[in-house]
Amino acid sequence: MLLLLLLLLLLLLLLLLLLLLLLLLLLLLLLLLLLLLLLLLLLLLLLLVLLLLLLLILLLLLLLLLLLLLLLLLLLLLLLLLLLLLLLLLLLLLLLLLLLLLLLLLLLLLLLLLIKLLLLLLLLLLLLLLLLPLLLLLLLLLLLILLLYLLQQQLLLLLLLLLLLILLLLLLLLLLLLLLLLLLLLLLLLLLLLLLLLLLLLLLLLLLQLLLLLLLLLLLLLLLLLLLLLLLLLLLLLLLLLLLLLLLLLLLLLVLLLLLLLLLLLLLLLIIIIIILILLQLVAVVVIELQLFLLLLLLLILLLLQVLLLLVILLLRLLLLLLLLLLLLYKW
């Protein structure tokens, strides 16, 4: 009976050890599953890190493109400024030329005024030349009147002589008058010709004045147009500057947004790296626990082997005892 009880106890111990082995195997499987899950999480996190790195590279490329665009816009702005400066210089040169033309026209007008004054002086001289013969005629008439008066007061004897002299003088005067008339006619013709020439010159001067006035008006219109063009160019310059400044502000805002995105991605990378480190620590802890479980499993297996050896030894002892008992009974 004692032997049977011992055998039952040994069997119970074997069953308990087998149950412990099964539990340890289940725990081992659970630990392996946890390890696989942690490895999968690590792989997923590594994939996320790679994706974030790709996004960072793309954002850096976008930043470079935006910087290139900024440089191009700055170059365009400089080119536009240079072009506008050149246009302003050209307009200023045109204005200077127009001012020079205006000065020349004013000088021409002054010359025309001087020519007019000279012509007026010539007219006055001609009038004086016309008046001189008339004055001479008047003087001759006065002399005749004086002679007649003297002849009336003298003696009768001298009257005849005086009459003869007067006749001679009259003849001479007539001749002189004829000559003077001829000269006057010639002078009148010359004066008429001169007057005609002066009138023609005056007409020409008037035409020139009209032309000069028209040119002045045209120049004034051109000046006004140039001033309007200058104002329009200045307005365009201001508008272009405003547009370029707005574009620069927009690009700067985009750069700031991209920098903020980069900072957020870097923060996400830091968080993911921290999570990976924590998971690696957990994996290390799980591996250490797995090693401990394996050690415990080895210890349990060794215990089972020892128990089995003890059972074998006990069974051998029981067999020896039974054999001894049988021998004793047989002898007895």
Summarised one tens digit per residue, pLDDT across range 234-280 is: 778 777 777 777 777 777 677 677 767 767 776 776 777 677 677 77
Greater confidence (144 vs 91) lies with 91
The arithmetic mean of pLDDT across residues 140-164, rounded, is 59
> Rounded CA gap, 40 and 88, in Å?
71
Q: Does 162 score more than 70 pLDDT?
A: no
Q: Residue 104: how many CB atoms within 10 A of its CB?
A: 12
Exposed/middle/buried for residue 299 (C-beta within 10 Å: 0-12, 13-18, 19+): exposed
Q: What's the chain's average pLDDT?
A: 71
Determine contact, residues 176/184, Cβ cutoff 8 Å: no
pLDDT digits (tens, 9 = 90+) for 81-122: 778 778 877 877 787 788 778 777 777 777 777 677 677 667
What residue spans define the domains of the chain?
A: 2-331
Q: Which residues, at least 6 apart from 25, have a Cβ–Cβ distance to it below 8 Å?
A: 297
Give pLDDT, residue 146. 63
Token pair listed for 150: 């003297």
In angstroms, the Cα distances linking 42 to 37, 55, 272, 290 are 9, 20, 10, 19
What does residue 253 show for φ and ψ, rounded to 5 degrees?
-65, -40
The arithmetic mean of pLDDT across residues 65-87, rounded, is 79
Q: Does 70 score more than 70 pLDDT?
A: yes
